[in-house]
Amino acid sequence: MVLDNLGSSLRGTMDKLRGKSRLDEEDVQEIVKEIQRSLLQADVEVDLVMDLSSNIEERALNEEPPGGTSARDHILKIVYEEMVEVVGDSTEIPLEPQTIMLAGLQGSGKTTTAAKMAWWFSTKGLRPAVIQTDTFRPGAYEQAKQMCENAEVQFYGDPDAEDPVQIARDGMEATEDADIRIVDTAGRHALEADLIEEIEEIERAVAPDRNLLVLDAAIGQGAKAQAREFDSAVGVDGVAITKLDGTAKGGGALTAVNETDSSIAFLGTGETVQDIERFEPNGFISRLLGMGDLKQLSERVERAMEETGEDDDWEPEDMLQGSFTLKDMQRQMDAMNKMGPLDQVMDMIPGMGGGLMDQLPDDAMDVTQDRMRNFEVIMDSMTDEELEDPRSIGASQVQRIARGSGTEEETVQELLQQHKMMDQTLSQFQGMGDGDMQRMMKKMQGGDGGGGGLGGMGPFG
Ligand SMILES: Nc1nc2c(ncn2[C@@H]2O[C@H](COP(=O)(O)OP(=O)(O)OP(=O)(O)O)[C@@H](O)[C@H]2O)c(=O)[nH]1
């Protein structure tokens, strides 16, 4: 993902601050240097890197950390806030009738993004249409038509017409019934005057409510000049970054957002019409910095808690004291099942990103739906004593449980094996720093009140 290196290199530096309550000048300088190195490697433009790092340095040295905050959390918070400042809020895209024009360099992914956005709007209950004005690239018409078919959205184009401005006008008329009209334009270099004149004319013809600049995440230092030119020609209200699934550096896109004083609207993460995400700045930066996507996690947890209900007797801390019983596993499976795969959930917890899950055996947390269902039936056939103390289950009990649950003895063994692996895995998390895990488990239980789930937990708590 974009700027991935920043997260990992920063985490290494941050980890050295564990246990410290104050930052000295040397700490701050080391961190700032690390940030500069990562951003420059990711192709973020030099001036932006310098501005960002000097803001971070100044705040880290002058701001008093709130009482009880560790040095590490304090600097993380500052870095986070400054990065969020650069990417800005998500571009406002109201769910109401509107026209959006896409502009960008050749091959940046405009046509693909047009169809993806149309699909996205259709999932929100709106009726979108794509208007294809690209007469320049042979194949653009067919590609757009095909993708719109896949997305099951209306499409307008005219493979025989030559004037993109006329196509745009005709397209607006032909798609009158649509709520959302997405106007795709030909790829152009912003520094070529005639091409810029053409997009200005299309803009006048369709009078869009907002213009999005489509940028390939791999765009490097050229991003700044391109963004500036498009902005002065038609005005850039937001940016769609494409190809984030590749090994792109992403820094150019960040520069463009900063240069046009706009914000990110959508992220493209693949070639099919569904590979689009609405940009969400907090989650994006949290993940970038390896702090976990707290907002997303809290939403998932809250949803799971609503569905699972609470269990007052259960103390999540018990799991971290090494007494992870089959009953705990039952509850965990239930909650995790509702939240999504455990490795993804773990990735969203602060301090747990950083490839920690990668170090675990692949199947340590692999409880698929089918197995889960089998496991549930098996556990129903166990006595309370067996659930509390799985080690007491011998060969004859395995036989009995298998018969009682109508499953194979092998499956019962598998369950016991799975439990053992989860138990071992959890014991690795014991004594984790900063109480992150404990707090998260407690919150997952809704144990300390505060309106449910992780909602009340600040990212740096
Ligand atoms: N992997 C990946 N490929 C993408 C993504 N978005 C677009 N592409 C691919 O990038 C290539 C160019 O995308 P197009 O949508 O044709 O780009 P365009 O900006 O319309 O191109 P022009 O009309 O030439 O300006 C195509 O092969 C797309 O499949 C993405 O998010 N991920």
Q: What is the pLDDT of residue 372?
A: 73
Output the CA 104–ligand 1 centroid distance in Å: 11
Q: Is the pLDDT of residue 366 over 60?
A: no
Q: Report the nearest atom of ligand 1 relative to the CA of 268.
A: 31
Q: Whole-angstrom Cα distance, residue 45 to residue 51?
A: 10
Element counts in the chain: helices (H) and strands (E): 20, 8
Q: Is the pLDDT of residue 88 over 80?
A: no
187 is in an annotated binding site: yes
243 is in an annotated binding site: yes
List the residue whose alpha carbon is closest to atom 21 of ligand 1.
107
Output the CA 144–ligand 1 centroid distance in Å: 11
**In a 3-state reduction of DSSP, which class is residue 278?**
strand
Q: For the residues 121-138, what does the mean pLDDT come to?
A: 92
**Top-confidence residue, 81 or 210:** 210
Contacts of 100 (CB under 8 A, 6+ apart): 93, 117, 180, 181, 182, 183, 208, 209, 210, 211, 212
Maximal CA-CA distance, the chain: 84
242 is in an annotated binding site: yes
Q: What is the pLDDT of residue 356?
A: 45
List the residue whose alpha carbon is closest to atom 14 of ligand 1.
109
Helix locations, 239-325, DSSP H:
251-259, 281-288, 294-308, 316-320
Q: Whole-angstrom Cα distance, residue 65 to residue 73?
A: 9
CA distances from 395 to 326, 377, 386 (A): 17, 18, 13
Residue type, 308: T
Q: Whole-angstrom Cα distance, residue 261 to residue 238?
A: 9
445 is in an annotated binding site: no
Q: How far is CA 180 from the centre of its chain?
A: 25
pLDDT digits (tens, 9 = 90+) for 58-74: 999 888 776 666 777 77
Q: Is the pLDDT of residue 158 over 90?
A: yes
102: part of which helix (H) or strand (E)?
strand 98-104
Residue 145 — φ and ψ, nearest 5°? -60, -45
Ligand 1 pocket, 245 CB below 6 A? yes
Q: Is the pLDDT of residue 43 over 90?
A: no
Ligand 1 pocket, 111 CB below 6 A? yes
What's the mean per-residue pLDDT of the chain? 77
For a pLDDT cut of 70, what percent of the chain falls above it?
71
- Look at 168-177, 283-292, 312-321, 439-448 and tell me which has the smallest mean pLDDT: 439-448
Ligand 1 pocket, 137 CB below 6 A? yes
Q: For the residues 104-129, what does the mean pLDDT come to?
A: 94
* Class of residue 19 by CB neighbours under 10 A (exposed 0-12, middle 13-18, buried 19+): exposed
Q: Whole-angstrom Cα distance, residue 461 to residue 457?
A: 6
Maximum mean pLDDT: which of 58-72, 252-266, 278-292: 252-266
77 is in an annotated binding site: no
323 is in an annotated binding site: no
Q: What is the pLDDT of residue 308?
A: 52
Ligand 1 pocket, 112 CB below 6 A? yes
Indicate the top mutation candidate among 242, 272, 275 to test ligand 1's pocket, ranked by most ligand atoms within 8 A of CB: 242
In this structure, are residues 398 and 409 in contact, taking their beta carbons and an 8 Å threshold? yes
Q: What is the pLDDT of residue 91?
A: 83
Q: How far is CA 173 from the centre of its chain?
A: 37
Q: Report the nearest atom of ligand 1 relative to the CA of 184.
A: 20
Read off the pLDDT band of 112 (50, 70, 90): very high
What ipTM does this complex have? Answer: 0.97
What residue ranges define each of the domains in the chain, with the CATH number in brackets? 4-87 (1.20.120.140), 98-280 (3.40.50.300), 294-456 (1.10.260.30)
Q: How far is CA 20 from the centre of its chain?
A: 30
Q: What is the pLDDT of residue 174?
A: 96
Angle at 397 between CA 391 and CA 401, to 5 degrees: 110
The 3-state secondary structure of 116-185, one letter per residue: HHHHHHHHCCCCEEEEECCCCCCCHHHHHHHHHHHHCCEEECCCCCCCHHHHHHHHHHHCCCCCEEEEEC
Maximum mean pLDDT: which of 40-49, 154-163, 302-311: 154-163
Output the CA 290–ligand 1 centroid distance in Å: 29
Output the CA 154–ligand 1 centroid distance in Å: 20
Output the CA 122–ligand 1 centroid distance in Å: 21
Nearest Cα neighbor of 91 from 317, 334, 261, 330 is 261
Indicate the top mutation candidate among 105, 106, 111 to test ligand 1's pocket, ranked by most ligand atoms within 8 A of CB: 111
Among all chains, which residue has been given the structure tokens 């976990």? Answer: 292
Read off the pLDDT band of 129 (50, 70, 90): very high
Q: Whole-angstrom Cα distance, residue 117 to residue 273?
A: 8
Output the CA 186–ligand 1 centroid distance in Å: 12
Ligand 1 pocket, 43 CB below 6 A? no
Output the CA 106–ligand 1 centroid distance in Å: 9
Ligand 1 pocket, 242 CB below 6 A? yes
185 is in an annotated binding site: yes
Residue type, 164: P
Q: What is the pTM of this model?
A: 0.64
